[in-house]
Structure 1
Amino acid sequence: MTDPLNHSYYAATAHPWRSSYDMGEDLSFDIAVIGGGFTGLSAALACAERGFSVILIERAHVGFGASGRNGGQLIPGLRWSASELEAEFGGERAEALFDLCWRGNRVKARIAKHGIDCDLKAGHLEAAWTPKDFGAMQREAEFLATRFGYHSNVVAKQDMPGHIASSLYHGGIHDPQGGHFHPLNYAIGLARAAEAAGVCIWEGERVHRITDTPEGAGVMTDRAHIAARYVIDATDSWIGDLEPDLGRYTVPIMNYNIATEPLPNADALLPSDAAVADSRFVLNYFRLSADKRLIFGGGERYSQTPPRDIAAFVRPFMAEVFPQIAGAKIDYGWGGAVAVTMNRLPHIGRRGNVFFAYGFSGHGALVTTLAGELIAEAMAGTAERFDVLANLPSRPFPGGKWLRQPLATLGLLYYAMKDRLG
């Protein structure tokens, strides 16, 4: 399975990987995982560590989807701020969510445990597009410090040049617990660790149906029926292909990234080497690669048809932030779909013998690894932490099969217009 949107810097610099699994006679496992992204890989690895027999089936290759082509930004938390979570759910639930999604960096722990070489760097900066945004950031930083003892650094406008060589922003919040990495090499590292733990990873095989009965579950692929006690659906943007009723809870939004040639002035652009995302609804996000390229994501499209020239589409957004490199050579341009829920919180749960986790809404580089591990915990009989995320509210987009995407697009365009109008 090829994808014209995946002419990415990550694919060009990925570590060698090829699954050693060849379909054998034994097609019965404790766990069948569908999807070779962060969620599926971390779930498969954690299940194998608990003694389950596991097969992971991936239609293309490990890291083919958003896990292998995202911006590489590691942002603690969820799309809702901690103060929003407390206001909506109360103190006890907010504390449980905070402990899971802010304090525990399972990506960093996995990288350390398995020696994954994926260019991990510390530091994430949220940059304020307006003075009003900066005021909200200051209040949230104070709330995090006083309520949870979580300390980040408020960066005043005059101090922003220490992080970013751009005059656009009105301050920001630097979180040393955040960071950035090479996402595809992280996925490959998880795959290697999972295979070493006994997981059978079957690439290039399409699952076209999930079965579930009181006696157990299973998956039908193009070539086999695989029996399992439990199935984990970790297909994210493609979940509607297998489970149409779950597909109603997300819409795909197309994001696009570019990578410049290695820049002689790269360190001057981002002196603290932090990843940066700004506070606009249609945000810009950017960072430096290990070989000093600027990796920049900007703009989004609500049509599934990509621009004819991804580099030309993203370049104006880069030039607005960094006019000093407006003419820089762009070596790579790529894109992919982000599965977005109505409230921007992930949709995680269980139906019978089938577990699912998807809809991370562009904020999944950290929480996907956590979600996979929480599913493994639940399967092993300890569901308390899994339930913290599974009990997040969710509802389908209105409009049914044909109108869901157009109605969602109208709402998204409204907020994009608010960005332009300030």
Structure 2
Amino acid sequence: MLGLRSPVETTEHTGSYYAASANEQARYAPLVNDIEADIVVVGAGFTGINTALELAERGREVVLLEANRLGWGASGRNGGQIIGGIGHDPERFQRHIGRNGVRRIYQLGIEARDIIRERVERHGIDCDLKWGYCDVALKPRHLRQFAEWRDHEAAIGNPHEYRLLDREELRDYVNAEVYLGGLLNYGNGHLHPLNLCLGEARAAASLGTRIFEQSRVTAVIPGPRPRVVTAQGSVRANKVVLCGNAYLGNVVPRLASRVLPSNSSVIATEPLPVELAQAIIPGDVAVCDPRTALDYFRLSADRRLLFGGLSNYTGLEPRDLVGTLHRKMLRVFPALADVRIDYGWSGQIGIGLNRMPQLGRLDGNIIYIQAYSGHGVAPTHVMARITAAMIDGSPADFDLFARIPHYPFPGGKLLRRPGLALGMAWFKLRDAL
């Protein structure tokens, strides 16, 4: 496709700002033997690491397998924005989960952010955690949507105030002429996602979790005690939890057909002078607009502007990733025209057809968690807690999510991407009108 290319991946971290500024270079040996465990977790992103940590806190014996490095995928590459809520419009599934189920999903969406706060405090994780988030409006209808969102958050019992800002009020938080106003809250926030991943993995390891990197899973063999096979070893366990999401590949075809890897990209500027950083985002909040192919941005702890977007369903990245995102950044902040771009990278997010996280069981003792649809930093944490609670004998919340139906993408491998890319093009056109 003109202007796009397949991302180049290695088994080491991508060339991101996060990888360059990680607190530690965690290195765990690959699995080279046939071992046994109570539970084996596949995929060491937020979901897998926190599932392992939650289970270890409950006294369970856990092995955690990662194909590359801890946080190698979306968990270590994303925009670092902590956003409450789980999925999109749980009311759509009321006939499957009931009114109480809908209310419970909203409650868990509020709790998701609190788990991150609790993790960071309990384990002393240095991940530049800050609270403050602002949705920004490009059109009058966005402001009307924001007013509805504010009222909705109050109605579901969110303890954090959502404050509607006009254009002038917004300047105290996000100083950009392109925006008409915003919706501010301090329940959401931002952080260094890879450092959070690494800190959570360290906490899991301290509780006895055995972690193996560079251990790509090639097969999952069902049975009374399923066996997970890697290139050089295997793990036989009572239960398997699959957390590979967009990067699980075709290890389990049924799961692969229900999640679509979708590309998103980020650039990071050089560190900005204090005055310039305060001039563009005086509130030091994370920022996002409401379009289908949205822009999202924030300041890092060392005052770089991290600017992301270019989401598309092709799974490809722009050939000129840095140049394309740089032009988008300058439309928001023209004052950054002479600022150097130090990093540019892409990654895959797992999209589900109905935009709700997918939890379920295969063969009873093989469990899966996937498809956060670009909204996973906080929900991964609560999905991990729900899954660990189910394994430990409290299945109510897990079973609630498992009742939500998930379907394979239409068109199979050949046609599902072109069809969804056309759908995104339609929504982009609608956003522009």
Given candidates 41, 47, 51, the residue that maps to 1:39 is 47
2:335 matched to 1:335? no
- For residue 119 of structure 1, what is the aligned residue in structure 2? 128
Q: Structure 1 residues 46 and 279 mapped into 2: Cα distance closer, same or farther (>3 Å)?
A: same
Given candidates 175, 190, 197, the residue that maps to 2:207 is 197
Q: Structure 1 residues 241 and 110 mapped into 2: Cα distance closer, same or farther (>3 Å)?
A: same
Q: Structure 1 residues 402 and 79 mapped into 2: Cα distance closer, same or farther (>3 Å)?
A: same
3-state secondary structure, aligned to 1:241: coil
2:265 matched to 1:238? no
2:382 matched to 1:382? no
3-state secondary structure, aligned to 1:162: coil
3-state secondary structure, aligned to 2:404: coil
Deviation at 1:294, TM superposition (A): 0.2
Deviation at 1:51, TM superposition (A): 1.4
Q: Structure 1 residues 84 and 220 mapped into 2: Cα distance closer, same or farther (>3 Å)?
A: closer
3-state secondary structure, aligned to 2:19: helix
2:382 matched to 1:363? no
Letter in 2 for 1:142: D
Question: Unaligned stretches of 5+ in structure 1?
Answer: none
2:86 matched to 1:78? yes
2:362 matched to 1:353? no
Give CA deviations for 1:46-72 in whole Å, capped at 9, x if unaligned. 111111111111010000000000000
Give CA deviations for 1:309-346 in whole Å, capped at 9, x if unaligned. 32112111101111111331100000111111112111
Give the CA RMSD over aligned residues.
2.1
Stretch deviating more after TM superposition (17-26 or 307-316): 17-26
Distance 1:381 1:80 in 2: 28
Stretch deviating more after TM superposition (131-140 or 79-88): 79-88
Per the normalisation by structure 2, the TM-score is: 0.92
Distance 2:199 2:88 in 1: 29
Distance 1:218 1:319 in 2: 51
Contact 2:31 2:232 in 1 (8 A): no
Contact 2:51 2:387 in 1 (8 A): yes
- For residue 292 of structure 1, what is the aligned residue in structure 2? 303
Letter in 1 for 2:207: A
Q: Structure 1 residues 176 and 304 mapped into 2: Cα distance closer, same or farther (>3 Å)?
A: same
Deviation at 1:168, TM superposition (A): 1.4
Contact 2:352 2:372 in 1 (8 A): yes
3-state secondary structure, aligned to 1:33: strand
Question: Unaligned stretches of 5+ in structure 2?
Answer: 1-8
Q: Structure 1 residues 370 and 28 mapped into 2: Cα distance closer, same or farther (>3 Å)?
A: same
Deviation at 1:23, TM superposition (A): 4.6
2:270 matched to 1:261? yes
Contact 2:107 2:156 in 1 (8 A): no
- For residue 178 of structure 1, what is the aligned residue in structure 2? 188
- For residue 407 of structure 2, what is the aligned residue in structure 1? 395
- For residue 8 of structure 1, what is the aligned residue in structure 2? 16
Distance 2:156 2:195 in 1: 36
Deviation at 1:242, TM superposition (A): 1.0
Letter in 1 for 2:26: R
3-state secondary structure, aligned to 2:422: helix
Given candidates 213, 217, 222, the residue that maps to 1:212 is 222
Deviation at 1:285, TM superposition (A): 0.2
4+ residue segments displaced more than 6 Å: 82-89
Q: Structure 1 residues 242 and 21 mapped into 2: Cα distance closer, same or farther (>3 Å)?
A: same
3-state secondary structure, aligned to 1:168: coil
Deviation at 1:239, TM superposition (A): 2.8
Deviation at 1:382, TM superposition (A): 0.4
Q: Percent identity?
A: 36
Stretch deviating more after TM superposition (398-407 or 191-200): 398-407
- For residue 176 of structure 2, what is the aligned residue in structure 1? 166
Deviation at 1:281, TM superposition (A): 0.9
Q: Structure 1 residues 110 and 344 mapped into 2: Cα distance closer, same or farther (>3 Å)?
A: same
Contact 1:318 1:326 in 2 (8 A): no
Q: Structure 1 residues 24 and 52 mapped into 2: Cα distance closer, same or farther (>3 Å)?
A: farther
Distance 1:79 1:268 in 2: 34
Letter in 2 for 1:186: L
Give CA deviations for 1:331-362 in whole Å, capped at 9, x if unaligned. 00001111111121111111221111111011
Deviation at 1:419, TM superposition (A): 2.0
Deviation at 1:24, TM superposition (A): 7.4
Q: Structure 1 residues 5 and 314 mapped into 2: Cα distance closer, same or farther (>3 Å)?
A: farther
Given candidates 259, 271, 274, the residue that maps to 1:250 is 259
Per the normalisation by structure 1, the TM-score is: 0.94
3-state secondary structure, aligned to 1:70: coil
Q: Structure 1 residues 206 and 159 mapped into 2: Cα distance closer, same or farther (>3 Å)?
A: same
2:118 matched to 1:106? no
Q: Structure 1 residues 85 and 148 mapped into 2: Cα distance closer, same or farther (>3 Å)?
A: farther
